[in-house]
Structure 1
Amino acid sequence: MKTAKIGLVGLCSPIESGGERHDELIASATTVLGQAGMEVVTAFRSVWNAGDALHVCDQMREADIDAIVIMDVTWVMDSLKYIFIHELKVPVVFWAVPYPETFSIGCVQNFASVLKTQGIKFEYVYGLADDESLISKIKKVAIAGTAIRRLKTMRVALAGPRQTWRVAGPQDMSLEEWDFSEKLGPTIIHLEMEDIMGEAEKISEADAARTLEELKSRTGQIKCSEEVMLQSAKMYMATKSLAEEYNLDGIAAECYPRYGGLMNQVASWLADEGFVVDTEGDIAHTVLQFILNLLTDNAPCVLGETGEVNNEQNYLVVCHEGSSPSSMAASMDKVVVNPSGETGSFVGVPVKQMDKVTFADFQGAEGKYQLFAATGSTLPVSREEWADAGEKMVMKLRSDSMSPACVVDKMISEGFHHHIVVKEGDLAEQLKVICKFADIKFVSI
């Protein structure tokens, strides 16, 4: 993700106490926010009236900020803050300073009640720039703003069969696609599996062999025929070519049951390159993986579904058909590529131990979406456990706060999809902030 760009402005009133602190407060805030890893666009002037506010809004719009911090240096009128809310339409944090004579926190509370009535999301902080938790909260909002804006430019391809028919809606797309795109921003591009397969047919055996050799170090033990692996290399090359042609950020591709195994190895290779390919045409979880990948530069996501609830040893067994990144194994000698159908394959990955992961799910319709996220860890998977589960992707997932049975019960009772996305790191709180400003219901445990 690019560095979050956050605007910073101080508001003052000529008839209230505290305005003389403006320069010192804004200077210290600018320094500390920058040290925390944000790009800070500081207002070129303090704001005392509507004219000042409009000029600063022009500055922030030109700077293309992701979020803004508005510091109530003194008590100010609601109409002054309204200008920033209405003009900029980015996530906002109100900063109250701890000087009693300014009534700064009361001023924030007053305007918060206005925004609550209007259904406008916001955050607030109270204190000075030396408060690490305050700065951390602001940074989460800045990152949320960056992620939400990036979602609005995302392009995700849906590769799979559609027919020209309708009940009372669009001819070759669903209203669900339209609603999802309008709510969250991604543009959905229709491709066919035949588009990828047709592009793959143009690739020579020699070029595919060279690519396969280049990918050898992250392929694992191969139990498929050379013909299958060459086909996988061709599909990989074709997918990359189409992704570049359409400037795609992810692909939700049809696999099971008609094209079983054709995209599994492709998805595994590309996951370790930071590009998401979902092999069950699951747009929502393609987007969820994209969001999680935006938040950190470490290992890619793993997508799976619950296969076993082990309450005695306190973990869920999460499995999937075999499209997971090979880097999720403790070492490459544990990764095995097995045949699937006539020309397909599946990648067997016993997922390594990770001390902190975030697991998440995404579901909804008609503009009403909800995201589930929690933290946990993964346990080592033995060779026997992996073999018993069919040598697919196998993960032993333990929640930080709830038994495995309660996790499953929570997800079922809240109506969540069977797919779970797991990402290394503690990202649940960041997802919560993103959901708040994207108007998505957040469900936690």
Structure 2
Amino acid sequence: MTPRIGLIGIAGPLEVGFSETPSILQRMKNQLETIAPVITNLDILYDLHTVQNAVEFFANHDFDLLCVGVGTWSEDHHLLDFLEYYNRPVVLWALPAVETGSLCGVQQICCVLKELEKPYFFVYGEPEDVKVHQKIREIGMAVTLRNHLRHSRIGVIGGRVKGMTEIAYDELEIKARTGVRIVNLDEDELIESVKNTDQLTASKLWTAIGEKVGKITVHNQAGIEALSYYLGLKKLIDEYGLEGICIKCYPRYMGKICLAYSLLAEEGIVGGCEGDVNNTVTMKILFNLTGKPVHNTDFLYPDPISQTILFSHCGSGGFSIANDPSQIQLSPVRLLNQGVCALFPARVGVVTLVNLVGRRGTFRMSALTGEAIECGMEFPGNPLKVRFQRSLEDLNEEIASQGIGHHWMAGYGDVRKELEYFCSLNKIQYYSM
């Protein structure tokens, strides 16, 4: 998820500050190298010849994000000519100065790129400005995420849960907006793959997992069956090159795939419940941005006294997001009292909660951030209690008025800005709370 930044400059030979632009570009390079690899020949565009030189250099040096240091006001068509060869998202970096015209030059270019519907971002400050570096890093993460998801595949088995119309998904819109390709699999493929797993291997794995958890309250046969599903899913994931799997678990596979999801999460494979494809894509996005397993949750109970909201689901989280490994308990799934789930209170820390719903024309992402605090087993799953700084009553009203839905994926860390830039790049409606 580390972007490669291509760096060029642009300036006008008649403008005040033209002669200083090379040193400014060098300072930009020195600073950007603290956040990402920088690809540059320190080219400054100001005529056809300089554009051609830059084009020739980058022919052998690929990059993800183009950073343009605008030393002075300049003719905008030189950048347009360059972008015809390397049509990458652009960061336009304006510099504080009275006479150079850097800022108004950037404003001019922003207008042109807006009209041409080319993705661009704006930053303003000296080359050593830490806030500028942070913003460019966040933009670079969003660009890299977009590039990665174009090659990602998520498998879907069994459609969506009956009666949960909210999670109906638009497969083409998911591909168009996020880049993720949905791979539709038959339930028969899952059943056959599970049936053909080696029971001895599943049994040995069950014994090994039992040594990593605090308590087991299911029979060994239930554990071996759960691990047969894990091994069966692994075969399908390998066969189809999947980075995520979404299964209509309710009610047929409740307790059968939960432990598989917990184990797959530690291998970088996201697992979505109830056939919610949109939010399985969300889990993939959050995993890429945070590098950690992601909580799959329902919005359960706001407590105005503690200013917290309890989120949870049945118990399919990766073991590494348990607050205390000794608290992990392998138990039957709630409601049906069958199979195996990994039950534990969630780890503490800042979390970003994200929901993705809609179809063509309404496809939208919502995000909110809070502080996960310690909690007990307040729900038989992976309870995540999050404290917010705003009115929970107002938050509930917003969720309802925006038609956001009830599934929230939670990743550790504050990645709202990366999500905002990602949505901007992909023309997804973004709602930050």
- Structure 1 residues 59 and 342: alpha-carbon distance in aligned structure 2, compared to 1, 3 A threshold: farther
Q: Which residue of 2 aligns with 1:17?
A: 16
* 1:203 maps to 2:197: yes
Q: 1:316 aligns with which of 306, 309, 313?
A: 309
User: Which deviates the most, 113-122 or 19-28?
Assistant: 113-122
Verify the 8 A CA contact 1:251 1:278 in the aligned structure 2: yes
Q: Which residue of 1 aligns with 2:332?
A: 339
Return the TM-score normalized by structure 1: 0.89
1:412-442 per-residue CA deviation (whole Å, 9 max, x = no partner) reads: 2111121111111121122122222222222
CA distance in 2, matches of 1:317, 1:266: 24
Q: Which residue of 2 aligns with 1:169?
A: none
CA distance in 2, matches of 1:31, 1:105: 22
Verify the 8 A CA contact 1:302 1:324 in the aligned structure 2: yes
CA distance in 1, matches of 2:254, 2:271: 14
Q: Which residue of 2 aligns with 1:280?
A: 274
- Structure 1 residues 54 and 364: alpha-carbon distance in aligned structure 2, compared to 1, 3 A threshold: farther
* 1:441 maps to 2:429: yes
Q: Which residue of 2 aligns with 1:225?
A: 219
Give the percent of matched residue pairs that are identical in Structure 1 and Structure 2.
26
Per the TM alignment, residue 54 of structure 1 is displaced from its structure 2 partner at its CA by: 4.3
Q: Which residue of 1 aligns with 2:319?
A: 326
Per the TM alignment, residue 156 of structure 1 is displaced from its structure 2 partner at its CA by: 0.8
Per the TM alignment, residue 241 of structure 1 is displaced from its structure 2 partner at its CA by: 2.1
Q: Which residue of 1 aligns with 2:101?
A: 103
Q: 1:350 aligns with which of 345, 349, 363?
A: 345
Return the TM-score normalized by structure 2: 0.91
Amino acid at match of 1:349: F
Verify the 8 A CA contact 2:213 2:326 in the aligned structure 1: no
CA distance in 2, matches of 1:132, 1:253: 44
1:128-163 per-residue CA deviation (whole Å, 9 max, x = no partner) reads: 21111111111111111101111111111111259x
CA distance in 1, matches of 2:244, 2:87: 27
1:109-148 matches, within 5 Å, as 109-148=107-146
* 1:244 maps to 2:238: yes
Q: 2:63 aligns with which of 62, 65, 71?
A: 65
Amino acid at match of 1:17: V
Verify the 8 A CA contact 2:210 2:216 in the aligned structure 1: no
Is there any run of 5+ residues in structure 2 with no aligned partner, and where?
161-167
Q: Which residue of 2 aligns with 1:181?
A: 175
Per the TM alignment, residue 280 of structure 1 is displaced from its structure 2 partner at its CA by: 1.7
* 1:31 maps to 2:26: no
Amino acid at match of 2:327: K
* 1:49 maps to 2:10: no
Per the TM alignment, residue 55 of structure 1 is displaced from its structure 2 partner at its CA by: 4.3
1:76-103 per-residue CA deviation (whole Å, 9 max, x = no partner) reads: 1121122244433322110112333221
- Structure 1 residues 268 and 22: alpha-carbon distance in aligned structure 2, compared to 1, 3 A threshold: same
Look up the SS of the partner of 2:45 in the other structure. coil
Is there any run of 5+ residues in structure 1 with no aligned partner, and where?
163-173
Q: Which residue of 2 aligns with 1:92?
A: 90
* 1:370 maps to 2:364: yes
CA distance in 1, matches of 2:288, 2:253: 29
Amino acid at match of 2:119: K
Verify the 8 A CA contact 1:153 1:186 in the aligned structure 2: yes
CA distance in 2, matches of 1:175, 1:272: 27
1:212-244 per-residue CA deviation (whole Å, 9 max, x = no partner) reads: 233334454221221111111111112122212
Per the TM alignment, residue 28 of structure 1 is displaced from its structure 2 partner at its CA by: 1.2
Per the TM alignment, residue 202 of structure 1 is displaced from its structure 2 partner at its CA by: 1.5
* 1:408 maps to 2:396: yes
CA distance in 2, matches of 1:175, 1:301: 21
Q: Which residue of 1 aligns with 2:4?
A: 5
Amino acid at match of 1:249: E
User: Which deviates the most, 247-256 or 193-202?
Assistant: 193-202
Per the TM alignment, residue 304 of structure 1 is displaced from its structure 2 partner at its CA by: 0.6
Q: Which residue of 2 aligns with 1:421?
A: 409
CA distance in 2, matches of 1:310, 1:419: 18
1:266-277 matches, within 5 Å, as 266-277=260-271
User: Which deviates the most, 20-29 or 143-152?
Assistant: 20-29
Q: 2:206 aligns with which of 212, 237, 242?
A: 212
CA distance in 1, matches of 2:61, 2:361: 30
CA distance in 2, matches of 1:45, 1:311: 57
Look up the SS of the partner of 2:99 in the other structure. helix
CA distance in 1, matches of 2:312, 2:169: 31
Amino acid at match of 2:156: L
Look up the SS of the partner of 1:102 in the other structure. coil
Verify the 8 A CA contact 2:89 2:118 in the aligned structure 1: no
Amino acid at match of 1:221: K
| Cα RMSD for the two superposed structures | 2.2
- Structure 1 residues 138 and 332: alpha-carbon distance in aligned structure 2, compared to 1, 3 A threshold: closer
- Structure 1 residues 81 and 215: alpha-carbon distance in aligned structure 2, compared to 1, 3 A threshold: same
Q: Which residue of 2 aligns with 1:170?
A: none
Q: 2:386 aligns with which of 389, 394, 397?
A: 397
Task: Count the aligned residue pairs.
Answer: 424
1:280-323 per-residue CA deviation (whole Å, 9 max, x = no partner) reads: 222221111111111223x4110111121211221111121221
CA distance in 1, matches of 2:47, 2:207: 66
